[in-house]
């Protein structure tokens, strides 16, 4: 009887210890996402940041449960006022409804996809890792472009004219439609990433297999 009680207590302490480790990883991971959001090339309305690289590597390293929980915490922290987001005002729930909102929710989906694939042995070989990183990045931009298209579509004339002038596009705001919004969203939210994202995908896909190779030694 006493032996079973001792074993139960040991099992409880082990579970508690593991839970504490997971909570620390989740908390520190959310800070890492916040830091990587500030390492950026400031090209409005959607900056080029290191956050996608960090997300891909993090999800591949810890799996989908911890990566999703971590990014949810990051979104919560930013939405309640902590200055964790990439652009001014750097915080607030309204930021999630701004031009970058779709990318953030796309990253949440990517955390699940990349983390899930990592748990199914896509994290130890470069080509498999590369495939998972590509799928994760595709999901980020799928959500991002969809939301940015809507965001551009509903903007006041002054904002649309500013964006069009900045990108040297002739925009007729009197006949603004979904096609024009989509084309502008591609220019503002995709084309400028054509060089940076493949580099980040290749780099992210290289890191996790290298870690596994090092741990085997």
pLDDT tens digit sequence for 102-154: 999 999 999 999 999 999 988 878 889 999 999 999 999 999 999 998 888 88
Task: Determine the 3-state secondary structure of 79 from DSSP.
Answer: helix
Give the fold, CATH level 3, of 2-216. Answer: Arp2/3 complex 21 kDa subunit ARPC3 (1.10.1760)
**Separation between Cα atoms, residue 130 and residue 135, nearest integer Å:** 9
**In the beta sheet, which residues pair with residue 48?**
41
Q: Which helix (H) or strand (E) holds 41?
A: strand 40-41
Rg (CA), the chain: 21
Percentage with pLDDT > 90 across the chain: 53
Distances from the Cα of 15 to the Cα of 21, 77, 165, angstroms: 10, 26, 58
What is the pLDDT, as a whole number, of residue 159? Answer: 52
pTM of the model: 0.86
**In the beta sheet, which residues pair with residue 49?**
40
Q: Which of 101, 138, 107 is nearest to 36 (CA)?
A: 107
Q: Domain locations in the chain?
A: 2-216
pLDDT surpassing 80 at residue 66: yes
Paired tokens of 106: 């796309």
Instruction: Report, as an integer, the average pLDDT of 43-58.
Output: 91
Tokens 């891909």 belong to 56
Paired tokens of 161: 């004219």
79 — phi, psi (to 5°)? -70, -25
């Amino acid at each position: 009887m006493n032996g079973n009680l001792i074993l139960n207590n040991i099992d409880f302490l082990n579970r508690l210890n593991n839970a504490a480790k997971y909570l620390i990883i989740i908390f520190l991971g959310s800070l890492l996402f916040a830091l990587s959001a500030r390492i950026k090339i400031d090209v409005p309305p959607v900056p080029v940041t290191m956050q996608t690289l960090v997300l891909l590597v993090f999800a591949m390293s810890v799996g989908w449960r911890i990566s999703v929980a971590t990014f949810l915490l990051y979104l919560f922290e930013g939405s309640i006022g902590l200055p964790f987001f990439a652009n001014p005002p750097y915080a607030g729930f309204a930021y999630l409804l701004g031009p970058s909102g779709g990318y953030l929710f796309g990253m949440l989906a990517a955390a699940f996809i990349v983390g899930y694939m990592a748990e199914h042995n896509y994290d130890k070989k470069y080509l498999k890792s590369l495939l998972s990183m590509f799928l994760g990045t595709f999901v980020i931009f799928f959500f991002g472009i969809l939301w940015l298209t809507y965001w551009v579509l509903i903007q006041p004339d002054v904002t649309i004219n500013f964006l069009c002038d900045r990108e040297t596009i002739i925009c007729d705001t009197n006949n603004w439609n979904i096609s024009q919004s989509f084309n502008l969203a591609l220019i503002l939210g995709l084309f400028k990433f054509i060089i940076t994202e493949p580099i980040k995908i290749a780099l992210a896909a290289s890191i996790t297999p290298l870690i596994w190779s090092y741990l085997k030694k």
